[in-house]
Amino acid sequence: RLCLFPHTSNRQACPSKHFQRNIHKKTTTKMCRPTSFRGLDAKDGGVVAAAPSRSIGVGLLVLLADVLLFAIYVPGYVFFRIAELIVLASSFPVQCASTAVAGLLLLQFGPSSCSGGPSLPRRHLIAVALLAALTYLTDVALPSPPPMELARGKTVVITGANSGIGYETARTLVVEGGSTVVLGCRNERRCADAAGRINAEAAARGDDAGGEAVPLVVDLSSFDSVKAFASGISSLGLKVDALFNNAGYVPSPGTPANSYGLDPAFTSMHLSHHLLTELLLGDHPATLRTVVNTSSGTHHQCALPFAYVPSSLLRRMDMPQLPGCVNESFLWGGVHRSTDGAAYIQSKVANVMHASELPRRHRGGGGDGGVKAAAIDLGWVGTSIRPFMQGNLSPTSLGWMRSAEVGILPVLHALLTPMDGGGENRLAAEGGVVINVLGKVERPFSYPWWKEDGWSGENVGAERMKVLAGKLWDRSEEILQRNGALR
């Protein structure tokens, strides 16, 4: 106290100015160390020593926070949000690069009580703030719901509609939009239960929207079941306005070829949806104008390794997928084999190729404007389709996944918003489009890794994929006709 007040009469009791500077330097240095530090003893000026055990406890808490945030939460966030992050980076490259640089500089050189950058707790706050800003952009600021009055009076057919994205889309269209939705499901009881829940919720609203969910069984592993499903829709007297080819699953490698002598995954996720689309377009030529396929960001794996990995290394990697996945080798060979490790991404890239080719094959259908088609990439969306997505501590509650209400917005845009006219929708005039996780229209196979001259020497460019889309169409028609499913 005497040293703090130099005007005191006992000035001789104060240490020298040089010693005062040493005290300040030592105490500051010691306080910046979260683990054990010792105060100065009495002969150094009477500074009281801090408790070593308390410093060790604080250090352990900081270490635990580091592990939870930077070793667990951030990697999990990036894994589940990778689709949104890629779209953000490609849509706003300058802004994203500037934000990333600013965030890194702030983490390294931000204000702190200690030299050498922010203290660890402050690093946590900065990281959490950046993640919160990203989540706000992808979940609130950038996605926008379409006008639901566009759904009033429409009839939409959805496959895989008793759970997941299919169910959430059907529920929203019926309850909020007043649409009639045909639920296509494999299990009759689950289909009826899903329709009952949706209709009960619509009735509870007490308005006159007039929406209704209609359950109808379809087994996409059977071409006969698909034909019966299409006939059942017509027998109900419904005029279909939009088709949502949504059903899909993650196949187990090694599943043997089915009774048609075909890959079961490719049969269910592509061939049966191709068949259903053609049957409904034939039955409802004047009204069916919109076809939407659920694809996945995993279809980019059909190009990424071939664009950026040398061929010598690719041969040693033993990857299951071929360049472009659905190429000539697969169409005339692999399609007849058992399910392999690339079955899912093969089906998902086929969904994009089908949507891309469909408008070119049906230019005169669906009214004066022709048929519009889109493949959608939803990323990870929190639904009830998988057990780990449920419960109070789920990826959705942690902010890793978007909620179902936000996740289905691209689907609603694809089903309800006209894909003709000006602006970005002009792309629809060139063929089918892709609608990304933010509900924005993209040209198929437009990302940088879909390139003609990749490091591997393989051509997986957009023009090559367009040619393959035409071959996929012709081959699909041939297979379906050979099995008596199409004339």
| Catalytic residue check, 344 | yes
Backbone angles phi, psi at 49, to 5 degrees: -70, 145
CB 325 within 8 A of CB 399: no
Phi, psi for residue 293 in degrees, rounded to 5: -110, 135
Q: Alpha-carbon distance 195 to 171, whole Å? A: 9
Between CA 326 and CA 229 the distance in angstroms is 28
Specify the 3-state DSSP secondary structure of 415.
helix
Q: Which two tokens stand for residue 293?
A: 């396929």
Place of tokens 């009281």: 48
Say what the alpha-carbon torsion angle 107, 111, 112, 117 is, to the nearest 10 degrees.
40
Task: Considering the candidates 77, 167, 344, 447, report the single residue annotated as catalytic.
Answer: 344
> Which distant-in-sequence residues (6+ apart) come within 8 Å of 37 by Cβ?
30, 31, 50, 52, 55
- Order the strands of the 372-376 sheet from edge to edge: 212-217, 180-185, 155-159, 242-245, 290-294, 372-376, 433-435, 441-442
Our measurement of the distance from residue 474's CA atom to the centroid of its chain's CA atoms, rounded to an integer in Å, reads: 30
Question: 245 near 291, Cβ under 8 Å?
Answer: yes
State the Cα–Cα distance between residues 446 and 426, nearest whole angstrom: 15
Contacts of 342 (CB under 8 A, 6+ apart): 319, 320, 321, 322, 325
Question: Which helix H or strand E contains 344, and what residues bound it?
Answer: helix 343-361
Instruction: Say if CB 278 and CB 287 are below 8 A apart.
Output: no
Torsion, CA 387, CA 389, CA 393, CA 395, rounded to 10: 150
Active site residues: 344
